[in-house]
Amino acid sequence: MFEYQNEHYENRNQMYNYNGMPENGPAEPHKPSASPNPGHTGKKARILKKAGAITLSAILFGGVAAGSFQAVNYLTGYQTPAAESAAASAGNNTASLLQTASLPSTADGKGSLDVSDIAQAVMPSIVSITNKSVQEVQNYFSLFGYGYSGETIPQETESRGSGIIIGKNDTELLIVTNYHVIADADTLSVAFNDNQVYEANTKGTDPDNDLAVIAVPLESISADTMSQIAVASIGDSDSLKVGEQVVAIGNALGYGQSVTTGIVSATNRTLNSNMNTANTSEDSADQPAYIQTDAAINPGNSGGALVNMKGEVIGINSAKLASTEVEGMGYAIPVSRVSDIIEKLMNETTRSKVTEDQKSSIGITGITVTESVNSVYGIPSGVYVAGVTEGSGAEKAGLRKGDVITKFDGKNITQIQELTELLQYYPAGETVELTIQTIGSDNAYTEKTVSVTLGHAVNSGSQSGSSGQPEANSQKDMSAFY
């Protein structure tokens, strides 16, 4: 410290000497004049020596004192205000960096990706699905009483949704979506990330959980498309926490793939059967649970992906509360809850709708057992057999009036419409297993499984144990041939 200060002082002295020089050049050397008194000169030299010694002693004493002072401060931990300010500043920067590094959102890998990174990584595994079908709609003229009362006319309809590529086998690319996205479809088409469109077939369905798996033949997919798509990475929805950021990706409003972001608003949320209101009743524990999010989920997003900040699919977008009084309440099916169901659907036989001449029939007339009928009469939920066609596969299998069909080829049946939908994919002549509840002599229902060979739908034959064929304008879910 002393040496540095001394050198600095010397530099200032040199500068002073330099500045004292005249602008036109160095001054002439000073020539001392001859001293007329040598004795006076010797006395002056002794005085100068004493003055120099005193000055040097003072400097040395000051340096030693300063060093001792700093040493004492160091040992006692005392800092000057300037040092305290510098130390505090350095301490705050370090603490800030440590706090950022230890945030839960980064310590466990959450939030490690930007939303744009997630979109880029996940979009190749998201597809757009188009469902084309022919629906029976009321005749326009019947509304005005022009002799067309009760008549319907066929009308082609088109709806759109989303899907997630979840795997492939030796011959097919497999895509999971919502059941309501592909329900009643005459034809299904899938648009991949490169906007190329391919036809798809139904692999397996589970209406109770609103799930379906469809398949696209690998041989129909070009090499260029295959290079631009990917199988989605599946995450753990059970580990989700309320407030965790999520991203929803899907074919919103049919305009093409879009991305929205939000947070997990709630987990284990249940909905009423109409999917329009949240269920807060005590009996909701037995109903499927959903992930609630404020990420925008609009029509067309159904079947798309809800992903975490690692780019992993943790939910299948399914519904949005339809009300002008609520905002930001979308729902997704947790993948961990339905992973076993999806795997089962992936391994079912791929089917497409049969041609008109191959349409099949079980050989019964059936009625949906509603919840009210179930509660009042104790009849199991399913399709009540109101009559059996003589000579049909149902009669040969031992079905009789009063039986209740609860499963068709291993798939749960709770209403006539589900049975009708399934029969469209099974040709006449195929043998399927039916699970039925049959009533015994003690008026108690017992479960059994029977094998039924499907007949042609146009050759239903006559009825036994029924009042005959229902009228043309009878309600389809009340009594009809199946």
CB 283 within 8 Å of CB 336: no
Q: How many CB atoms lie within 10 A of CB 26?
A: 7
Pairing of strands 383-389, 364-368: antiparallel
Beta bridge partners, 449, equal 435
Element (H, E) at 188: strand 187-191
CA distance 234 to 253: 25
CB 446 within 8 Å of CB 437: yes
* Dihedral angle sign, alpha carbons of residues 368, 369, 373, 377: positive
**Two tokens at 114?**
């930007």
Pairing of strands 383-389, 463-464: antiparallel
CB 303 within 8 Å of CB 332: no
- Inter-CA distances, 310 with 233, 303, 314, Å: 9, 20, 10
**Residue with tokens 């490169």, as numbered in its chain:** 194
Phi, psi dihedral angles at 72 (to 5 degrees)? -65, -45
Q: Is 302 a catalytic residue?
A: yes
Q: How many CB atoms lie within 10 A of CB 302?
A: 28
Q: Which of 302, 360, 392, 466 is catalytic?
A: 302
3-state secondary structure of 161: strand
CA distance 390 to 413: 23
CA distance 83 to 86: 5
Q: Is 180 a catalytic residue?
A: yes
Q: Which of 180, 265, 360, 361 is catalytic?
A: 180
CA distance 168 to 217: 10
Q: Which of 162, 210, 318, 392 is catalytic?
A: 210
Active site residues: 180, 210, 302
